[in-house]
Amino acid sequence: MTHQNEERYEKRQCLSIFCFRHDLRTVVFTLLLLVFSSTTQAQSVKDTIYYDNYWRICEKPVARYYRLGELQLGQRWHFANDVKDFYIDGGLEMSGRYSSDGSKNGAFTFYHPNGKIKKQGSFVNDTMKGTWSYYDAKGELYFQLACQNNQTFTPLFIKNPGGDTLLKNGTGQFAFKLLDYPDVFPVANDYMVKGQCEGGKRMGAWTYDAFLGDNWRTVAIELYEDGTFRSGTFGYVGGGNQLRQPAFIVALSITKLLQTEAFTHDPVFGDYVSGTHAPQLTAFLQHGDVPVFASGAKKFEANVADYLTLCATAVGYFNWADSTLFWHGGSFRSAKLNKDAWLVGYCIQTDDPKFPKQSDLFPVERLKAYNAQISFNVYEDGTTSNVAVKGNFEKEILVHIAYYLSRLTGLSPLKEGGKAVAAKQNLYLFTKVNTATYRKHSYIVYRLLFSVKPQEQTDDKFEVADYAKAKFEADEE
């Protein structure tokens, strides 16, 4: 290095002790390297990704889990190399590894919140292979399988919910309900599986019974000899079709991985469309841009649809005691109460998409009721602020409601004399939860009292009693 360059470095005229000679080819080559390096880094994100209760990407305030790993944001998004998932309190939830092409390969281990192993096994090119074992929160084995793939497997060990061992060392006869093992068969219908194994091989008749109406009916039979499928029928016994291969009624999967690998996200990032990535999600993952929930309401009263969508999302985090809840969509019903209030209901249920009558909803002794009083400002530009929430939901849910409503933008402002004005919005979310365990009664009913006064009216008070006096239109149908 020349004495002249040393002087330039000391005077901060040169940023490195390794100063370049004024060689155009060197400069151009270096710039190309920098551009290439920048482009490569832009395709790889090594950062914390937060997930909600359904393993959808979300922001930290509403997260239940987070992931540390490498995310490749090319034409096809995927994870690469080692990944670790954690509960929001820092406890390890999963460890595994993805290949450079995004396929799962190698050992994956999942953990209960108390740190004990929940399940473990191996993937080969995204396929479950070898022995997969499932443990309860005490660390005791309750299900074990030898897997050729996600649909071809043989039980090695089965313990029923009552603690009885049905199958051990791959030998024995058994009968179990798929719904009794949601972590083993997360995407399952109400089937009863009966069969036998010897020495880790399927043997004899395997039957699959479905609960139809009030009875169990056999819908498929498979016959095995020394682990090999020989014949079978599919359909009701006596009228079924002959099978040339197993019916594959039962399949293994890990729901959270289906979610994370599809890059599902909560509503703040926009609508989720399979196979595409919301622009806000891309900006969030690449640059940390704060997402907003953009309303499409054309008039002030229509804002309530977005309010309820976000409230329902927040309440969905709630750990409903003794309840089994399913998200199957629903429909809005509204009744005009007076010039300043609308009563809106949203029903989530498993069977009937129509809003049911109140008298059909719940056995009285099985009701659990929750409520939240909500207030916030809606400004002329369609944004919100000063969100305040209180109620008898657990504190975490109240925080989630406030978070989601604070992300609202593009709302239709209140208009007086054709001019947009600021307004104070009051909501009362009333939720009844049926705690019955049978299928036809597993849903939530939301009711929302929508009331508005101009912001400058400081005497505006939201009275919960107003809701109790209201008659809901659906009750009278």
Give the pLDDT score at 100: 93
Give the pLDDT score at 276: 77
Give the pLDDT score at 320: 35
Cα–Cα nearest to 270, from 256, 257, 282: 282
The residue extents of the domains of the chain are: 3-41, 87-255, 292-476
Task: Quote the CA–CA distance of 249 and 233 in Å, as a whole number.
Answer: 12
The packing angle between helices 395-406 and 303-315, to 10°, is 150
In tens digits, the chain (477 residues) has pLDDT values of: 444 444 443 443 433 323 333 444 443 444 444 444 444 444 688 889 999 888 999 999 889 999 999 999 888 899 999 999 999 999 999 999 999 999 999 999 999 999 999 999 999 999 999 999 999 999 999 999 999 999 999 999 999 999 999 999 999 999 999 989 989 998 777 889 999 999 999 999 999 998 877 788 899 999 999 999 999 999 875 567 889 999 988 889 998 999 999 999 988 888 777 777 888 999 999 888 988 888 888 888 778 778 877 887 787 644 333 233 333 333 334 444 344 444 344 433 333 333 333 333 333 334 456 778 888 889 999 999 888 888 877 788 888 888 989 889 999 998 888 899 888 887 777 665 544 433 333 334 444 555 555 444 333 333 332 322 222 222 323
| DSSP E strands, 272-331 | 293-294
The domain made up of 87-255 has a fold known as: Outer Surface Protein A; domain 3 (3.90.930)
Give the pLDDT score at 399: 86
3-state secondary structure 4-28: HHHHHHHCCCCCCCCCCCCCHHHHH
Q: Which residues of 207-232 are buried (b: 16+ CB within 10 A; e: fewer)?
A: bbbbeeeeeeebbbbbbbeeeebeeb
